[in-house]
Structure 1
Amino acid sequence: MTDYHYDCIVVGSGHAGSCAAISAVQAGCKRVLMVEKAPEDWVGGNGYFTAGAHRTVHGGLHDLLPLVQNVTAEQVNNIDMEPYTTNDFTADIMRVGANKPNPSLVKAVVDGSRGTIEWLAESIGIPFVFSFNRQAYVVDGKQKFWGGMVLGVDEGGKGLIAAHRRALAKHGVEVWFDSPVTQLLTDDGVVVGVVVQRDGKDIQVHAPATILAAGGFEANREMRVEHLGGIWERAKVRGTPYNTGDGFTLVKPLHAKLTGDWAGCHSTCWDAHAPSDSGNRILTNQYTKSGYPLGVMLNSKGLRFVDEGEDFRNYTYAKFGRAILEQPEGWAFQIWDSKGAKYLRGEEYGEGIVKRIIGETLEELAARLVDEGLEDPSTFMHTMTQYNNAATQPNAAQRWNPAIKDGVSTQSSPSTRLDLPKSNWALPIDEPPYTAVKVGCGITFTFGGLAIDADTAQVLSDGVGEADSKPIPIKGLFCTGEMVGGLFYNNYPGGSGLAAGAVFGRKAGRSAARLLGIGHS
């Protein structure tokens, strides 16, 4: 074998891994190597396929203005943005995770979010913007932000990874593509490097610190079936096809502690006609279909199956993919009339992006949906009639407001309320033309992962061989990104995944430098 020596090795070229590598250099590591099993054409992991949404604690509009690039002085007075506090962020993660997330991990992400966002913007050059198109509606002439999430990245994940690549080059990080890691090297239980397959050869790469940022197992059909269940074989992979759980195989000999929701994942409404086994590098996040709060969703039998208005989209979209997958045939229709359709985002629902089925009456729409798989138009019509009767309430149109949880529901009248409510934004679907889009389940990333120390991002062992069986740190090994377990259960607040990857990536890089005795902030 050929031997190489570095101060730090980062496994994975996505957002979290890039943050770790740059952090390590800034903390004092002189020679940092990033290894990526994918070819260079697939650089960026899942981060490339995102909208670049980052959730962070902030003090309101003027706190974040210095960090964004898409607001003029004239626009400032027309933006309505409430502060998002530490308590807000903490409560959102715990609430949507059914109070199961590890409190130490949650605290680390929340407390580190604002400083990390500033670091990303000022030190790495991430081009942050306010997400007007995704997280705000015009209400009374002002852009009203909702759902606690306000930051995106110019050009989404493409802009995010492009900025990282510039920063990696500036900081002198060496990057190897087409270089899968096949083994972790150890010396008396301490991780001292990796074995990499490169150009048909096995190469030993030594370093005091190795940082795993290799993603989850969402692109591995066998692992999806094993951990998530049989129906997940047919889920569509939203991002990179290279996240196949390799990182978890690497740590098995070390008895690394597995933790978190191994039966859960981030999954969302995804174009039913999208590719099955990987995302599209051009359209990326445009296959997302997140306009369901403005209408209703019906399955192939013509029945509703979720409360589309349960909460803001960014608190429900990561779990509704599962609900769709559990329906007959694993897909559903999203339905709007002209009132709702005018609010649909063009990048998701525009011409050339998605197949839209149109009808001038609901009966005509139902007939056309038969060709798309609707089994029973009469049940479809019965469902829509029941919904419209329950949604027809006095002054509903005047109270309807997509930027707040407006309480405009199907449950106002005892005589017409539905067994399955729509709790907010429930206007009748009664103004032609009527639009339908067929959606499936897109899997984004898996929630189960490795246990880490919340302060250092060091991987913990499962305590095998220890009398008290307590997790102990595995020296020389750190983890960030989607490989971290224990942070998300069942669901997650939109934008918190990229934020967490950056927070723990930054911590891991600093910890790597400390192993050399040179670590500094």
Structure 2
Amino acid sequence: MGTTTVDLLVIGGGMAGLSAATRVAAEGDSVVLVEKAEATGGSARFAGFVWTAPTVEEMRRVNPDGDPDLAAALLDGFTDGVAWIRSLGVECQPPVPVLGFGRGHQVDTNHYLDTCERLIRERGQEVLTSTWTHALVTENGVVKGADCLLPDGSERRIEATWTLLATGGFQGDPGLRAEYVHPQAADIGLRANPHSRGDGLTLGRSAGAAFGRKDAGFYGHLMPAGVSLADPARFVDLALYYSEHALLFDTTGERFVDETVGDHLTTMALLERPGARGLLVADARVHREWISASYVEGIPGVDKFQLCHRAGARSAVADSLEDFASMPEEWGYPGATIRDRIEEFNTAARANGALEPGRLLDRRPLDEPPFYVVEAAPAITFTFGGLLIDAGAHALAADGNGRSPVPGLLAAGADAGGLYRRAYAGGLAPALVFGLAAARTALGESPAAPVH
């Protein structure tokens, strides 16, 4: 078995891992990045906005049960994170609103990821792809690196002062989804890369790192039920973001969530309903203002209903609410009940009466025919549950007090948990910020050290 010794070993080559490795290499320290896929980038290649909540107060409002220290660290590090991206010659567009409460920048993510890998190699450091990390090396409770399996089948030990877990979470493993998210999560769609299967979780726990709360939830979106997500282009094209302005009914014909608080939150709620599927109903106004309009400033709008219909989704256009009573039996929904609930909703909305569930952000009735119906199902992008960390990206030990670090071990990106609990304020931003925090820890810098 060959052996290499470096200052930082990074396991996982997505947003967090590449950011950390590039920062360490830029300062002249030694680093090896190990990625089990054939190419680096992970699910970050499917994203294009680096954003989060604009203030601590807003983060607390949208994410009240998340770790406040991690939330503060994210917001404190966001500006420097954006500056770091720009320092590599990658353009960040001017800030725009995101999800109604957030603020962030459109970024050429692929340019950033490829630039990171190029700079690591130019500094004489290694990027090993198609390489699997099968065990951490520990000595007296200190993580000292890892044993890796190279593409040719040979083994290599990489000894390191610091080891960073950044493998992207466990959303790619149906069994782990069922265990740590919800029993029905085993069968939901995956709108992410297929390689993030809990490697970081398994490695970290083997070294004594603590896993966060099982009920932390996940980030995802409603997608048309029964439609394959094998083509990553569908991750955004078919996402039913407009659910925030529509009505969602489960298989019993009832509403069960305030749809207006966010499609990503409605997605978690639908996972817990019978069969994890539901009918999303919009009217002509919603079609005009939201289904075929831009979701985020700078991204052209497309008619998502037509895209879903062409993709083979269960969908229909109803000329009137009476048509719901003739819903095909094989769909498995009580159409007449849904018709009645829409009429009840519209009556209450017009009278500014009580709605159950409520509608915090959009109480307008859905009464302009025709009506657009798509069967929706939850799909997962990344998990919120992960290894607990502190603001310096140290993995915390499962030793009872919950705050002592596992010596030598770091975690970032979706391998790190605690930041969000059944709430969401950006995915790329935490990966970037805590990836750079891991780099600062490995470099022995103070948290306030400036970005170069």
Question: Judging changes above 3 Å, is the alpha-carbon distance between structure 1 residues 473 and 380 closer, same or farther for their aligned structure 2 residues?
Answer: closer
- Structure 2's unaligned 5+ residue stretches are 294-300
Matched, 1:152 2:106: yes
Secondary structure of 1:101's aligned partner: coil
Comparing 293-302 with 121-130, greater Cα deviation is found at 121-130
What's the CA shift for 1:488?
Answer: 0.9
Q: Distance in 2 between matches of 1:262 and 1:216?
A: 15
Secondary structure of 2:197's aligned partner: coil
What's the CA shift for 1:350?
Answer: 5.6
Q: Distance in 2 between matches of 1:300 and 1:453?
A: 42
Secondary structure of 1:19's aligned partner: helix
1:120-135 alignment runs, 5 A limit: 120-123=85-88, 125-128=90-93, 130=95
Matched, 1:184 2:184: no
> TM-score, normalization: structure 2?
0.87
1:194 is matched with which residue? 146
1:184-240, CA deviations, whole angstroms, 9 ceiling, x for partnerless residues?
112333322211111222211222221110122122111122222322222222212
Q: Is the 8 A contact 1:3 1:204 kept in 2?
A: yes
Q: Is the 8 A contact 1:365 1:434 kept in 2?
A: no
Matched, 1:377 2:335: yes
- The match for 2:180 among 227, 230, 233 is 227
Q: Distance in 2 between matches of 1:262 and 1:392?
A: 37
Matched, 1:289 2:240: yes
Question: Judging changes above 3 Å, is the alpha-carbon distance between structure 1 residues 223 and 520 closer, same or farther for their aligned structure 2 residues?
Answer: same
- The match for 1:474 among 406, 411, 415 is 406
Q: Name the amino acid aligned to 1:223.
A: L
RMSD value, Cα: 2.6
Question: Judging changes above 3 Å, is the alpha-carbon distance between structure 1 residues 189 and 301 closer, same or farther for their aligned structure 2 residues?
Answer: closer
What's the CA shift for 1:103?
Answer: 2.2
Secondary structure of 2:436's aligned partner: helix
1:359 is matched with which residue? 318
1:388 is matched with which residue? 346
- The match for 1:322 among 245, 268, 292 is 268
Q: Distance in 1 between matches of 2:227 and 2:18?
A: 28
Q: Distance in 1 between matches of 2:117 and 2:330?
A: 46
Q: Is the 8 A contact 1:260 1:447 kept in 2?
A: no
Q: Is the 8 A contact 1:268 1:443 kept in 2?
A: yes
What's the CA shift for 1:111?
Answer: 1.1
What's the CA shift for 1:470?
Answer: 6.3
Q: Is the 8 A contact 2:212 2:385 kept in 1?
A: yes
Q: Distance in 2 between matches of 1:189 and 1:239?
A: 34
2:32 is matched with which residue? 33
Matched, 1:104 2:55: no
Q: Distance in 1 between matches of 2:5 and 2:302?
A: 45
Secondary structure of 2:101's aligned partner: coil
> TM-score, normalization: structure 1?
0.76
Q: Distance in 1 between matches of 2:116 and 2:204?
A: 29
Q: Is the 8 A contact 1:20 1:506 kept in 2?
A: yes
Secondary structure of 1:358's aligned partner: strand
Q: Name the amino acid aligned to 1:100.
A: D
Question: Judging changes above 3 Å, is the alpha-carbon distance between structure 1 residues 432 and 262 closer, same or farther for their aligned structure 2 residues?
Answer: closer
2:356 is matched with which residue? 419
Question: Judging changes above 3 Å, is the alpha-carbon distance between structure 1 residues 16 and 471 closer, same or farther for their aligned structure 2 residues?
Answer: same
Matched, 1:169 2:114: no
Q: Is the 8 A contact 1:50 1:284 kept in 2?
A: no
Q: Is the 8 A contact 1:510 1:520 kept in 2?
A: no
- The match for 1:238 among 191, 197, 205 is 191
Q: Is the 8 A contact 1:11 1:35 kept in 2?
A: yes
Q: Report the count of equivalent residues.
A: 431
Q: Name the amino acid aligned to 1:90.
A: V
